A and B are shown apart, each in its own frame.
Chain A
Amino acid sequence: MLQIKTPAQLEEFREGLLSKRDPNKPCITLCSGSACHASGSTEVAARLEEELKTQGLADQVDIRRTGCHGFCERGPIIVIHPDEICYFQVQPDDVAEIITETIKGKKIIERLLYTDPVVNEKIIHESRIPFYKNQERLVFGSNGSIDPKSIDDYLAIGGYSALSKALTAMTDLEVLGEVKKANLRGRGGAGFPAGIKWEGSRNAPEPIKYVIVNADEGDPGAYMDRALLEGNPHCILEGLIIGGYAVKANEGYFYVRQEYPLAVINILHAIKEAERYGLLGENILGSGFNFKVHVHQGAGAFVCGESTALMTSLEGKAGEPRPKYVRSNVKGLWERPSVLNNVETWANVPMIINKGADWFTSIGTESSKGTKIFSLVGKITNTGLVEVPMGTTLREIIFTIGGGIPGGRKFKAVQTGGPSGGCIPEDKLDLQVGFDELTKAGSMMGSGGMIAMDEDTCMVDVARYFIAFLTDESCGKCVPCREGLRQMHRILTNITQGKGKEGDIELLEELAETAVEASLCALGKSAPNPFLSTLKYFREEYEAHIREKRCPALSCKELINFYIDPEKCRACGTCRKQCPASAINGDKKIIHIIDQDKCTKCGTCFEVCPTKFGAVTKLSGVPVPPPLPEDQRTIKKKSKENE
């Protein structure tokens, strides 16, 4: 059994690995993260192996199943090294052609390339694609080049060299000092400086301490932690061991949500591999430092991402936050000093140790250093994971990298920071992303969720949606959160249904104040943000719903009506045939009419009416014009009318 006992042995082993790897040998990397798995990458992988075998290339070409590359919109993704040829949306049936044409014949398959929508040009190399080109993938970048199940892959890219440096060339205090100096702030939401948190634990008198990875990622639409856990588990593990050394903890935990099965598998595998290599366990690399790691799966509660609730849950109790005014880095898990950091925070640690705090602080803004991974979803052309330096503007992220809003629609707002974040309007798009910058704008960094919204999105409904999510996820312990959110949700629902009353906004503001000021934990304290930020920037939408019973975005079902413009209807019958409620009357050459009593407002007619007619419209806040008298509904030929 291989056991690496000294830093020298580690380097020797690494060199051995590299010498056996031919950089010119073709290697097909295939994204096998959860998103690509869902779009069929497992079948593609099977076909690749089969095809290489039948074409007699099994030992001449490597296949590497990697973690998420981030461009999930276009998965499954294949990159062929060393030429870095990048194919998107690869299906099993494309595989044979890829092997024959590209691997054997060195020819590019145009069809599978990315087309730049602006200049309408095909792009061959991954790094030239605008989505990737404008990112800075310091933490996330290795995902595309390593097999998360292979510790050798991680070692080959320099893995565990930071651990080796920390344990043998630095004292624990020096490691702590470096992280403090780097001003690494928590990537989980609050942005608390990790170094200061670590120092608090280190200085706490209790001798048994813990370090914990918060992998209970639960924000709707956010999956950057999942991508790291699945794609590069060793990087997080290495950061955790270094953290343990710095705070004098000999035990660490991964608290992973149960809904991330692949992450759990990969982390468990990584721990086993690291133990087998002697990078985890007793006397790591001959330093005298001992460290062991456990994995705990959550049971499906969003609130368990909150530090004290997570620790209560780790102890085996119901996941509810603790009311005590004691920081968990001093009294946390089993009343012992416990450092809890988010997945991405831990993943930054090896890099800081390797390259130094001065390098790290050269990236980012005054108060937010390094990069941040954002999960870009919603009404956006390029859905995916995006890593950019702190200080990048929202405009660059959404338009340059994200490719803007699809379907020719207009951008309206971006929701950042997860459910308890806020919505930022268009005139704030030049805001630089950073912890304090986003908070100042009424939103927050959160864990990095970013949901783009277009003009068809109703901001009152957005607030209702997020408050509904949080009401559902409240643990129910304290009154301001449990009862306050319940009532906020009711009032917001009423407003979106046209049942809003004068005074509702003020009532919501009162409930928001109570939740912000008096809730037990951060979930309740930040829960009113979706309401407060949409009220701040889109107050007129609230007023239109309440006073005019009008939804300006034409989105709230109860406040809109579908109407066929008799001037535009050409009686093509498409809407009539597809209406699931049989609510449309009409016939050949007879202008179509929607029976408002039967209409369920599903929107099918609006979707299917040919663009060249555009006869179906949405009305809100105005009465539906009465239908034409039956004798006037016959469509006469235009030419005749002109005569």
Chain B
Amino acid sequence: MSDIEFEIDGKKVTADKGMTVLEVARKEGIYIPTLCHHEKLEPFGACRVCIVEVESRGSTRLVVSCVYPAEKNIIVRTRSPKVDRIRKTIVELLMAHAPDAPQLLEMAAVYGAVPNRYEKDPSFCIHCGLCVRYCAEVAKKHALGFVDRGVHKEISFIPEIAAKECHACKACFPLCPTSYLQAVFVLTEALSFPDPAKTK
């Protein structure tokens, strides 16, 4: 029932009802960069690098493709000078936290992002939320979450749950684009539930 027809970068594409623009692009092999997206997780819409231009009934606007629903007759452009500029700035901002994260370096090369453009920050978390959401939505353990708000927001394990669940799981580890998650886990473990074998 591929009943929705529209266009991405000049290519005619079809979508089922409920699909997002990003899903359709992936299905068609059209590249749109992402950082906080994961197939198994609900769209988060936080990193904003999957931003694209959508033209609909004569007017053009910027939307994030991981959330924007496929619609009949829209024209999607995955790149434009403005889209590229925004992606460049986002990557540069995140490089203030994680200057050597492979995904960021890859995107920096594509969009001409300049590392060290902004003053560095000590935490290398980029708040993609993959760990928090994977643990909640797929592993269903809720062993970690976000705490605090805004620039002070950070991920934090709940020691009581983490002590019981994490050793056998660690499914979130490979998801982290910057290895910050592993650092937080090691710290939590050391402070709250040290491995008796290690402390001897």
* Chain A residues packing against B (C-beta within 8 Å): 301, 318, 323-325, 471-480, 482-487, 490, 507, 510-511, 513-514, 517-520
Minimum CB–CB distance from A85 to chain B (whole Å) comes to: 50
Which residue of B67, B90, B96 contacts A514 across the interface (Cβ within 8 Å)?
A: B90
CB closest residue in chain A, given B93: A483
Chain B residues positioned under 8 Å from A325 (CB to CB)? 63, 67-69
Separation in Å of the B94 CB from the closest CB of chain A?
6
Would you call A480 and B90 a contact (CB within 8 A)?
Answer: yes
Chain A residue numbers with a CB within 8 Å of B82 are 517
Since A477-B127, A514-B90, A518-B48 are in contact, a sample of 16 more A-B pairs with Cβ atoms closer than 8 Å, ordered by chain A residue number, is A323-B43, A323-B46, A472-B151, A476-B127, A476-B150, A479-B47, A479-B94, A480-B93, A483-B96, A483-B97, A487-B93, A514-B85, A518-B51, A518-B64, A518-B86, A520-B46
Q: Let me know if B119 is at the binding interface, CB within 8 A.
A: yes
Task: From A475, A479, A507, A510, give the contact of B150 (CB < 8 A).
Answer: A475
CA distance A477 to B150 in the complex (A): 7
A479 to B113, CA, bound (A): 15
Distance in angstroms between the alpha carbons of A486 and B126 in the assembled complex: 14
Q: List 15 A-B contacts (CB under 8 A).
A: A324-B45, A325-B69, A471-B151, A474-B150, A474-B151, A476-B148, A479-B49, A479-B90, A480-B89, A483-B94, A484-B89, A487-B96, A487-B118, A511-B89, A514-B93
A514 neighbours in B (Cβ, 8 Å): 85-86, 89-90, 93
The complex places the Cα of A301 from the Cα of B51 at a distance, in Å, of 27
Bound-state Cα–Cα, A437 to B103, Å:
45
Cα–Cα distance between A517 and B89 once the two chains are bound (Å):
12
Residue of A nearest to B48 (CB): A518
Given A474-B151, A479-B47, A487-B119, A517 and B86 contact (CB-CB distance below 8 Å)? yes
B window 32-67: CB within 8 A of A: 43-49, 51, 62-64, 67
Name which residue of chain A comes closest to B128, CB basis: A479
Question: What distance in Å separates the Cβ of B74 from its nearest Cβ neighbour in chain A?
Answer: 12
Chain B interface size band reads 35 or more
Residues 157-199 of chain B, each 1 if its beta carbon lies under 8 Å from chain A, else 0: 0000000000000000000000000000000000000000000
Please tell me which one of the listed residues B47, B51, B126, B149 contacts residue A475 in the complex, with CB atoms under 8 A apart.
B149
Query: A482 to B96, alpha carbons, bound, how many Å?
Result: 13
For A473, list chain B residues within 8 Å (CB). 150
**Does B146 make an interface contact (CB < 8 A)?**
yes
Task: Determine the chain B residues whose CB is within 8 A of the CB of A477 once the complex forms.
Answer: 46, 127
CA distance A487 to B93 in the complex (A): 8
In the complex with contacts A477-B127, A479-B48, A324-B94 CB distance below 8 A: no
Min Cβ gap A270→B in Å is 32
In the complex, what residue of chain B is closest to A472 when comparing beta carbons? B150
> A482 to B127, Cβ gap below 8 A?
yes
Interface residues in B97-152 by Cβ distance below 8 A to A read: 97, 117-119, 121, 126-127, 146, 148-152
B153 proximal to A (CB < 8 A): yes
* Residues from chain A with Cβ under 8 Å of B68 in the complex: 325
Q: How far is the CA of A387 from the CA of B117 in the complex (A)?
A: 47
**Which B residues are in CB contact (< 8 Å) with A510?**
85, 89
| Structural contact, B146 and A318, CB atoms closer than 8 A | yes
Q: Classify the interface of chain B: helix, strand, loop or mixed.
A: loop
Closest-by-CB residue of B relative to A521 is B45
| A456, B118: Cα distance in complex, Å | 31
Residues of chain A within 8 A (CB-CB) of B127 are 476-477, 479, 482
Expressed in whole angstroms, the Cα–Cα distance for A324 and B126 within the complex equals 21
> CA of A323 to CA of B121 in the docked complex: distance in angstroms?
26
Q: Which residue of A lies closest to B126 (CB)?
A: A479
CA distance A37 to B136 in the complex (A): 47
User: Chain A: which residue is nearest B118 at the CB level?
Assistant: A487
**A479 → chain B closest CB, angstroms:** 5
Shortest CB–CB separation between residue A508 and chain B, in angstroms? 12
Given contacts A479-B127, A513-B86, A518-B90, contact A323 B150 (CB under 8 A): no
Indicate the member of B46, B148, B150 with the most A CB atoms within 10 Å.
Answer: B150
Cβ contact within 8 Å between A480 and B146: no
Min Cβ gap B4→A in Å is 15
State the Cβ distance, B59 to closest chain A Cβ, in Å.
15
B119: A residues at CB distance < 8 A: 487, 490
Distance, CA A473 to CA B153, complexed state (A): 11
Q: What are the 10 closest A-B residue pairs judged by CB atoms, nearest first? A: A323-B45, A476-B153, A483-B93, A474-B150, A514-B89, A476-B150, A518-B48, A323-B67, A487-B118, A486-B151
CB distance from B180 to the nearest CB of A (A): 15
CB-nearest residue of chain B to A487? B118
In the complex the two chains form, what is the Cα distance from A324 to B46 in whole Å?
11
Contact A324:B67 (CB < 8 A) given known A510-B85, A518-B48, A518-B62: yes
In whole angstroms, how far apart are the Cα atoms of A507 and B92 in the complex? 12
Cβ–Cβ < 8 Å partners of A471 in chain B: 150-151
Residues of B within 8 A of A519 (CB): 48
Complex-state Cα separation, A483 to B126, whole angstroms: 9
> Is A301 a contact partner of B149 (Cβ separation < 8 A)?
yes
Pick from A482, A513, A520: contact of B151, CB below 8 A. Answer: A482
For chain B, residues 69 to 83, give those with C-beta under 8 angstroms from any C-beta of chain A: 69, 82
